[in-house]
Amino acid sequence: RHAETAARSRETVLGMLSMLCADAENLDYDGIDQIMQMLEGYAYEETLQVRIDQLAASVRNLDLDTSIAICEQMKDILEKGKAAT
């Protein structure tokens, strides 16, 4: 049951990261802010929490290139299943 919930959470976070990347590429600041708030509502293991903190800082600083790079790193980690939400 826990593994099923973790997998669903991982898929949800992956989807939000993809949307955040797309919004950053389209300069949709409202969309970026909304997704960032949702992402910050999850609990992450340390590997991902560090990146969430970095992502939040880059979003606040409007450093969208860095935001996209961090999103891609997080997606890679989640897709390989090395980290769980």
pLDDT of 7 above 70: no
CA 9 to CA 51: how far, in whole Å? Answer: 17
Q: What is the pLDDT of residues 39-66, one digit of tens each?
A: 999 888 888 999 999 999 999 999 999 9
Burial degree of 1 (CB within 10 A; 0-12, 13-18, 19+): exposed
pLDDT at 26: 94
Average pLDDT in the chain: 88
Please state, for a pLDDT cut of 90, what percent of the chain lies above it: 67
CB atoms within 10 A of CB 81: 10
Residue 28 DSSP class: -
CA 36 to CA 80: how far, in whole Å? Answer: 22
Q: What is the mean pLDDT of residues 25-47?
A: 92
